[in-house]
């Protein structure tokens, strides 16, 4: 052992010291961050959780097919409209029966931010004992990269394509994690795959806080196909999103927001945008508008954070 060798992060223990609950060769794309999130969640929360999901990019692997599955976890396949409510019913009954199983919803933004948002909001308001994880790939990737309400301003998708007139999506993303935090959820946080220590800590906290009530985790999850990035670059894209404050990392206990990874001197948002080809059509003015929305969102979080210092 040499003195110059960097100290190994304890986060690697999750990969070396836990059982892999997935079969080899699952049907996710190379470089998919949803896959990395899906594999990481049970490593921290434990494999005896009960997962609730719905038709999505996660479904081909999580759903069973007839009697077979590609993983060894209890999984409940809901519809996109029913995830948070099905989970509420399961969690209520488990608690009634004295089972301390953690019920974990795992959906994309098409469900969490859009069609499943109402029941998500209802479950948060009722303070259900459920962990709800949204992996946000900023669009309906499973059906062919259409826009969702978390698709960012200017992104070219198959339903907001850039063209002679179109500049991509005309409105900024709906900031779902803050909306759920403002429900007064027991715990809400953002996380991404480039900052695994932060992600792991938040998952562990989620498992603690779900005893008090509703927990929401919003995972920034680039889609190599839909965003048109190189499969080897997906983690770099995550990291750049954090470094530019495009995707700030924070947590909120009972609505009290705290930034968990402040970036002392953030890089220009353009550095992030140029890595992702769904933004490649954008001109200077478009980029300035996006930078303005990023600054505004960060200022809001910073202000909320300062209330709790």
Give the residues lining the site for another protein (CB under 8 A): 48-50, 52, 59, 63-67, 69, 71-79, 81-82, 84-94, 96-97, 99, 101, 118-119, 121-122, 125-126
Residue position matching structure tokens 């220590």: 197
Helices (H), the chain: 13-16, 33-45, 59-62, 83-96, 109, 117-125, 176-181, 196-209, 234-243, 269-273, 284-306
The answer to whether the CB of 188 falls within 8 A of the CB of 216 is yes
Q: How far is the CB of 140 from another protein (least distance, A)?
A: 18
Distance CA 297, CA 257 (A): 13
SS3 of the chain: helix, strand, coil, percent, to 5:
40, 15, 45
Q: How far is the CB of 76 from another protein (least distance, A)?
A: 5
Q: How far is the CB of 212 from another protein (least distance, A)?
A: 18
Distance CA 216, CA 186 (A): 9
Q: How far is the CB of 69 from another protein (least distance, A)?
A: 5
The answer to whether the CB of 178 falls within 8 A of the CB of 223 is no
Residue position matching structure tokens 């209890």: 74
Q: How far is the CB of 124 from another protein (least distance, A)?
A: 10
Residue number with CB closer to another protein (74 or 159): 74
Helix (H, G, I), strand (E, B) or coil at 309: coil
């Amino acid at each position: 052992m040499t003195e110059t060798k960097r100290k190994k992060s304890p986060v690697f223990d999750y990969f070396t010291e836990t059982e892999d609950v997935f079969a080899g060769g699952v049907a996710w794309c190379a470089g998919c961050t949803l896959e990395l999130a899906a594999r990481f969640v049970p490593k921290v929360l434990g494999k005896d959780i009960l997962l609730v999901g719905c038709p999505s990019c996660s479904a081909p692997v999580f759903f069973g097919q007839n009697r077979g599955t590609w993983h060894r976890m209890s999984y409940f396949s809901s519809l996109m409209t029913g995830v948070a409510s099905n989970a509420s019913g399961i969690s209520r009954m488990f608690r009634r029966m004295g089972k301390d199983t953690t019920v974990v919803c795992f959906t994309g933004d098409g469900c969490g931010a859009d069609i499943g948002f109402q029941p998500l909001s209802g479950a948060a308001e009722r303070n259900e004992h459920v962990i709800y994880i949204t992996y946000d790939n900023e669009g309906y990737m499973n059906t062919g990269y259409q826009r969702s309400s978390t698709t960012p301003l200017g992104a070219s998708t198959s339903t907001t394509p850039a063209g002679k007139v179109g500049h991509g999506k005309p409105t900024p993303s709906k900031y779902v994690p803050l909306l759920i935090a403002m429900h007064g959820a027991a715990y809400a946080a953002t996380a991404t795959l480039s900052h695994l220590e932060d992600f792991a800590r938040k998952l562990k906290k989620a498992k603690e806080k779900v005893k008090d009530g509703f927990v929401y985790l919003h995972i920034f999850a680039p889609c190599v196909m839909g965003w048109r990035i190189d499969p080897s670059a997906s983690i770099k894209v995550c990291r750049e999103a954090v470094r530019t404050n495009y995707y700030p990392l924070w947590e909120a206990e009972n609505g009290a927001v705290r930034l968990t990874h402040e970036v002392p001197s953030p890089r220009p948002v353009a550095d992030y945008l140029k890595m992702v080809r769904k933004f490649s059509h954008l001109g200077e003015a478009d980029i300035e508008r996006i930078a303005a929305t990023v600054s505004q969102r960060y200022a809001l979080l910073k202000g909320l954070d300062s209330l709790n210092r």
